[in-house]
Structure 1
Amino acid sequence: MKKVVLIVLLAHFCLIFSLKAQSPFTAPDSLLVIQEGIASYYGTRFHNRRTANGEIYDMWQFTAAHKHLPFGTLLKVTNKKNGSQAVVRINDRLPKSSKRIIDLSKGVAEHLDMVNDGIVPVTLELLSHHAIDWVKQQYQLVPSDIRLRSYFHDIAYTKDEEIIKSTLKESLQKK
């Protein structure tokens, strides 16, 4: 009987700890967060119309409109009210005067459980540090309302380059 209770307790604790474990693929990385604000959604009124990038809008696809992110950019959108997340592709434009940061398709809105609310606070994240570098390259001047931060590769590279140069100089002087 003691063995059965011990096995049940052990299984229970393993289950609890496995549920609390964070996958390295979904772990939050504050450097990937580029914007926070209010999201809305659009649906039937624009269904089957052309988007700003020329494709036909399908309200069930996981797409979105943003003021200035490059078309094709993939973003992870997190509903801050309930923690639901979705990955969307930018294929349309918001008006420059819009107070919202993103307009989501109805399919995304249903996935994020925001249809009844209409608007919700969200966080926008790029999917990788390479994506940050790619988006930076698309701009001559990065808009002030988004944060594109990446690791300081240049500093690490410069330091390594200086070490290599000094080591090379020392080895040449010894000859």
Structure 2
Amino acid sequence: MQAELNKVIAALQDFYAHEGFLFEKDIGERAVTHRFAVHLEKQFSGWSVDCNYDRLGERTLHLPHGTIISTDDHLGKSIYPDVVVHQREIPNNLLAVEIRKASNHTPLEHDEHKLRALTDPNVWFAYTIGVLLVLDRTGVMLSDVYFGGEPDRAMAVWFAKRLNDAGLAGTS
């Protein structure tokens, strides 16, 4: 897992080196997410990196009915991860990343629940690793790591230290 998280850090370094304009002009989260995905793709040769990708082969990603962020539809709630690293045609989902700008003041719970669901080994499309990133113009304001459907505190502490060591910890 550390190797994959180191690739996320490398992508963040590249992102912050080239995408300051997005924060200077307060560009929307979807553009930030897309540009991060462009830099992440460079780190994961042989994998597909997509934004808002809601499929596994022909099947649409749905959370099971009754999950904490489901709706009343009979199939469960469609789920659109911000950025994923995966193989499109086979069930090989490696990494799901949820990105927020620090200026987004809506509660984090939705993204946290989404990452729990996306990494839950009991769902058919589970991603191995989930990462939550709250980004500001100065760096990563908050991060978390998910594994097995739960926050992985030890890995989150390691990741936060690596972000700090890389000069990516925000200073607002």
TM value normalised by structure 1: 0.25
With the length of structure 2 as denominator, give the TM-score of the two structures: 0.25
Higher relative CO (CA 8 A, sep ≥ 6), structure 1 or 2?
1
